[in-house]
Structure formats: structure tokens, C-alpha cells
Chain A
Amino acid sequence: MNCRNVVERLDEFVDGTLTAAERGTVALHLESCPSCREAEAGVRALAARGAALPQAIEPAHDLWPGIAARIQAGTVTQGRFGAARHSWRHHLGALAAAAAALVVVSSVVTTLIVARRDATTASSRAGRTGLAAGVTAASLELAQARGTYEAARRQLLAALEARRSSLSPATLKVLDENVRIIDEAVRQMESALARDPGNQELPSLLVTAYRQEIDMLQRAAGLPARG
């Protein structure tokens, strides 16, 4: 077996998939050929590096909201829960839309915050912290979430109203539209829950919608003034 034949078989030699006879022939050649031995070491080192790469790489973005929205949108047509639950499932489309819109508004808001961070004075942020104190993911269990949500929402909307003139019309338009979408999704889920109090999924969806709205309002109330 010449060098060319050996090099062609090195991968299988390293992977242990050659027949015993071929394996013996290659091994014999390697004993007497430094250049093929070097090639063999290279294949082994590369395979080891491949195997040592991390098995997990987290995505740069949280992909779950998009996945959940697609799953919920898809479940509407499956109808595997029967006609009685079909109606509220239909409303989940609104939540999916709200979630998608929120991604947009969140990135707009984040961009604004980052872009204007330098120009932000301490006073423009005063009053932001503590506006919605106690509103965290953990505290928003549905039992207590409604009260917390409604109080926080009132405070935040008032704070936002007081500084409407300092925000750009484009920002206000996006905010108003998102508030409207989430309010509508919340209203529909609340009424679905009233019709179907034992429903297992609606409470956590509602809490998610509450949290999203509070989060958005909190960001909006903390936005630096324009100019």
C-alpha cells in the first residue's frame, strides 16, 4: 500500500471502521512512514477537537416567546380540546399578536434608551424606580396579580400621561397601540376565564400578559425625554 492509499484510509483507520486486514496493512505502513504518521496525528487531533466542542450554545435571543406564539396559534385550528374551549383559544391569537408587537416596541424602547443614555439626566429618571415596586415575575401569581397589576398599571399610565409631551409622536403611537392590544388580549382572556374557571392554561397566560404590559409601561415611563 502506497502513501496515497494510506492517506485515503486514514479516516477509517482513526475511526476504527476498517477491516482487520486493511487495518493491519495501514498500521504497518505507518510504522515506516513519518509523513503518513504526521497525517494520522492531524486526523486524530481534528476529530478530538470536534468532539470537544461545546454541545450546547445558547441562542443570543430568547426564542421562547416566538415558539409559544406559534404553538398557540397552531392549537386554535387543531381543536383537540373540543368546541367548548375553542372560543377562548381563538383569542390567543390576540395575545400572540400582542407578544409579537411587544418584541417590536421593546426593541424600539431599548434602542431609544441606549441611544439617549448619554443625554439622560438623573432627574429625568427620578420617580421611575419604585413606580411598580413589587411587580416581579415571581410575585405575579394570578391570585394576587390582578390587584398588583391594576395598581401598577394605573400609576404607570398616570406617569406616562404626565410626560406625554416629552415623548416623540412616533414613540407614543407605538406605545398606545401596544397598550390597546394587550388590554384587549387581557379583556378577552379574563372573560374566557370567567366562562371556564377551571382552565389550566389561561391563568399563566394572563400573568404573562400582565407582566408584559407592566414591563412595557415601566420602560416607557422611564424613557428619556426627547431632545
Chain B
Amino acid sequence: MSTNRDDERSLVRAAQAGDLGSFERLYRSTVGLVHALCLRMSGNTALAEELTQDVFVRAWQKLATFRGESAFATWLTRLTVNVVLSERRDRRRREAHITLSDDLEPFAGPVPDARPGAALDLERAIASLPPQARHVFVLHDVQGWEHAEIAHHTGLAVGTCKAHLHRARRLLREVLSS
């Protein structure tokens, strides 16, 4: 966030009152966070841009429910996770006849090439994980969420989240050491 907390509060208040210009400034200061999360959770560049747009349209619609108890970025991060996961649920319902299991989803599209080698290898490896393992790894190890919070958002049991994290880390170490 390039804005400080007071600036952020007044921008949020103005946006809540309907000022789109203030909302654009909030967008400019947070779009990188939202896009990074959409990109890593979806593993797909084009889908990540669509999801990022969805997140900000939803954020505008739900802005009245933001009470300032957390930082705007924190609120937006939770909203992002919900948007990404519900988009995936919707898509899986639509594609139910061709998607046989989690692991059979096509592997991810390309990730951006703007970062140095080691980080890029990790990004590519994350994108190649099965979706649920990828979600849990990104939320736990990249975002720093606890299993209970991940379980709450994904609807998985805590034990299942732990199993996905274990699997994700094992697969990542295999991919990265090969």
C-alpha cells in the first residue's frame, strides 16, 4: 500500500459515498496484491486478469460492509479468495461432465516472465500443482494464513488442509529439485 492509513480511511469513506475517483485510487494501490493472489491461486494469466476485475467490481458493490476493523488490503484479500474459490466452484459445476477429478484439471497457463530465475521457477512450480494443493500452499505459505482460516474459506476440514499443504510441499520440492 502506497497510501497511509488515514488517506486510506478517507478514500474508503469517499468511495462508500459513491465517489468512483477515490475507488480508483484504492484500486491503484491494491491491484498488485489482488492480481498476485488471483494469478497464484488460478495459475492462469488470462483468468487472473478476469478475476481481478471481478474482485474490484464486487468490492465496489460490497464496500458498505467494510467497517474499517482491518486494513482495506486485508478485507480485499479475503474478498479475493472468496471470488477466486466461488468462480472455480461455478466453473466446475459447468464443466462437471468433463472434469473428472481435481488432478485432471489442465495444468496452468504461463506465468509472467518479469521475475528473476529462482522466484520464477517457484511460481511455475506452484502453477503446476493440483488446484486444491495450490490454493492451500498459496494461502498458507505465501499469504501466511492459518489452517483454520483456510478451512473456513475453502469449506475443507482443517485436517484436509494440512494434507493438501503436505502434498503441495512434497510436489514442489520434487519439481524444484529435478
**Partner-B contacts on A (CB < 8 A):** 8, 11-12, 15, 17, 42-43, 46-47, 49-61, 63-64, 66-68, 70-72, 74, 80-81, 200-201, 204
Contacts and interface: CB of A to CB of B under 8 A. Distances in A.
B31 A58 contact: yes
- Say which size band chain B's interface belongs to: 35 or more
Chain B CB within 10 A, most for which of A12, A56, A58, A64: A56
Nearest to A68: B20
A7 to B, nearest CB: 9
Leading 6 A-B pairs by shortest Cβ distance: A56-B32, A50-B141, A57-B36, A59-B35, A67-B56, A58-B32
B112 A60 contact: yes
A58 B18 CA distance: 26
A72 to B, nearest CB: 8
8 contacts: A43-B169, A46-B172, A46-B176, A49-B118, A50-B137, A54-B115, A55-B33, A56-B32
Interface in B12-70: 18-21, 23-24, 27-28, 31-33, 35-36, 39-40, 45, 48-49, 52-53, 56-57, 60-61
A51 B142 contact: yes
B19 A53 contact: no
Contacts of B20: 68, 71-72, 201, 204
A59 B173 CA distance: 28
Chain B CB within 10 A, most for which of A43, A53, A201: A53
Given A47-B141, A54-B36, A55-B36, A8 B61 contact: no
A99 B18 CA distance: 21
Contact of A70 (B18, B27, B57, B165): B57
Contacts, number: 98
A74 B144 CA distance: 34
B122 interface: yes
Contact of B112 (A12, A52, A57, A71): A57
Nearest to B177: A42
A64 B20 CA distance: 11
A64 B140 CA distance: 29
B119 interface: yes
Given A17-B147, A204-B21, A53 B57 contact: no
B166 interface: yes
